[in-house]
Structure 1
Amino acid sequence: MRIALMATCLADAMFPSVARATVTVLERLGHEVVFPPGQTCCGQMHVNTGYAREALPLVAHHVDVFEEALTSCDAVVAPSGSCVGSVRHQHATVADGAGRHALAGRATAVAARTYELSELLVDVLGVTDVGAYYPHRVTYHPTCHSLRLLRVGDKPLQLLRAVAGLDLVELPGAEECCGFGGTFAMKNSGTSSAMLEDKMRHIRETGAERCTAGDASCLMHIDGGLRRAARETVRVAGDGAGHGAPRTVHLAEILASTRAGVFA
């Protein structure tokens, strides 16, 4: 297959290894990955914050870029449940709400061929074992958009169970939100912090070295909390006290890792 990569603006700006890992996995499986250079933000953060009118140009641009890419590609993939959720569940609605019904139809067509990474691997390519090796104890956090909007189910878990060397442990309260929610974490910081504390406690209970997920945004939130907690432990208890604290890693980075070299 020839697949267009929707890198997402967060990966492009802050977590480029996630986009590179996505390419690594798909190329290892024998597929060609192309990067449409005109892509920008999909507009999710604008819509989620109530700025549908401001999101419309971004939606239109996204449709233009990936509609063109799909003339020579079989599918679009993104290592982000939330961004794919926006493409699937927001783009056509935003266009319809602005009276841009033709654009809504085009957005629906692009959305129908856009997949989150685990969806593409399991449902479209029919693969669960991607030849990965990751010798760590890992727990999986199902992010809200992948769980509730995309309904990816256990597809990420199927992929993780097939990774050589990986010890997968169940996360207590897995389906509870981590508290990120974009600007929710800033506008409702007290509630967000309490939700994050619960999530971090559950991660520690597993004894996992790594917590993985399909969204860099949620992992950023969780990792920030884990790092702050580790620094506080060191401050109170002294050097070395924070050693062994769990960290986060994107699902794509685990799947890209091999015996020749751990990606992350």
Structure 2
Amino acid sequence: MRVGFLITCLVDLMRPSIGLAAVRLLEAAGCEVEVPMAQTCCGQPAYNSGDHATAAALARKLLEEFEHYDYVVTPSGSCGGMVRTHYADLFKDDPDLSWRYERLRPKVYELTDFLVRVLGWQDVPGRFDGTVTYHDACAGLRELGVKQQPRELLARTGATVTEMAQCEQCCGFGGTFAVKYGAISTAIADEKCDQIAATGAQAVVLGDLGCMLHLEGRMRRRGNVSTRVIHIAEILTGEV
């Protein structure tokens, strides 16, 4: 099974260790993983800002780079959601691109969704002796249906998962939203930080680096230096 790995801009530039951990998981699960080296952005920031011409150009580039793989897997619900949900809008006026995209769309998966629903993988290598809470990132939850998959995998590490109040509530990042509406974004993040702290968990685990950076930054500014913020890929490999 040939898997094209969509690393995402943030992971590539800010936390490449997440990408490496995700690739190791896929390989441990028996996949032949390839990382197209010319890949760039999925187009989500441009699309959310109304620049559909730029988003469409990036979407076409991604389609050309990934359409020949058996599956496309990404460690980000937001980028996966962009490809699975919004490319149809970008390609709607081009019959050829629309046809090619409809062949690609069902092959695009967020990492934990792929491991659980496609591979049925159970041999998680990582172990975590402690309590964690899980934040459901908006796009992964609402656009891809990622909910139980990461929790099932976390349980296999030995971690105790303690749910926070309103775990499905936005963290306030929202990509360009955090830039355009900083005060609102901060207020939303403060609510989420309070909910995380109330669980008493040693770590909050997420499947989207944007949310991770947003929450970790806010936690540290509020003086919380003890709660760890971990991507699901890294806890599943035991690299934490």
- TM-score bracket, shorter-length normalisation: over 0.9
Moved beyond 6 Å, runs of 4+:
none
> For 2:32 and 2:128, how far apart are their aligned partners in 1?
24
Q: Residue 76 of structure 1: SS of its match in structure 2? A: strand
Q: Residue 115 of structure 2: SS of its match in structure 1? A: helix
> For 1:118 and 1:9, how far apart are their aligned partners in 2?
19
Tell me how far 1:129 sits from its aligned partner.
4.1
> Does structure 1 residue 88 correspond to structure 2 residue 88?
no
Runs of 5+ unmatched residues, structure 2: none
- Report matched runs for 1:59-208 at 5 Å: 59-68=59-68, 70=69, 74-96=70-92, 99-164=93-158, 166-208=159-201
* Contact 2:77-2:137 within 8 A present in 1 as well: yes
Letter in 2 for 1:153: K
| C-alpha distance after superposition, 1:199-252 (max 9, x if no partner) | 00000001111111110111110001011112xxxxxxxxxxx56x21211000
Corresponding position of 2:230:
249
Letter in 2 for 1:252: A
> For 1:27 and 1:59, how far apart are their aligned partners in 2?
26
Runs of 5+ unmatched residues, structure 1: 231-241, 258-262
* Contact 1:23-1:33 within 8 A present in 2 as well: yes
Pairwise CA RMSD of aligned residues? 1.3
Give 1 or 2 for the bigger CA radius of gyration. 1
Q: Please, what TM-score do these two structures have when normalized by structure 1?
A: 0.87
Determine what percentage of the aligned residue pairs are the same residue: 40
Corresponding position of 2:44:
44
| C-alpha distance after superposition, 1:110-167 (max 9, x if no partner) | 1211110011001100124423212232110000001111112211111111113x22
* Contact 1:143-1:214 within 8 A present in 2 as well: yes
Letter in 1 for 2:47: V
> For 1:43 and 1:117, how far apart are their aligned partners in 2?
19
* Contact 1:93-1:104 within 8 A present in 2 as well: no
Deviates more, 1:77-86 or 1:135-144: 135-144
> For 2:146 and 2:160, how far apart are their aligned partners in 1?
21
> For 1:138 and 1:204, how far apart are their aligned partners in 2?
11
* Contact 1:27-1:33 within 8 A present in 2 as well: yes
Q: Please, what TM-score do these two structures have when normalized by structure 2?
A: 0.96
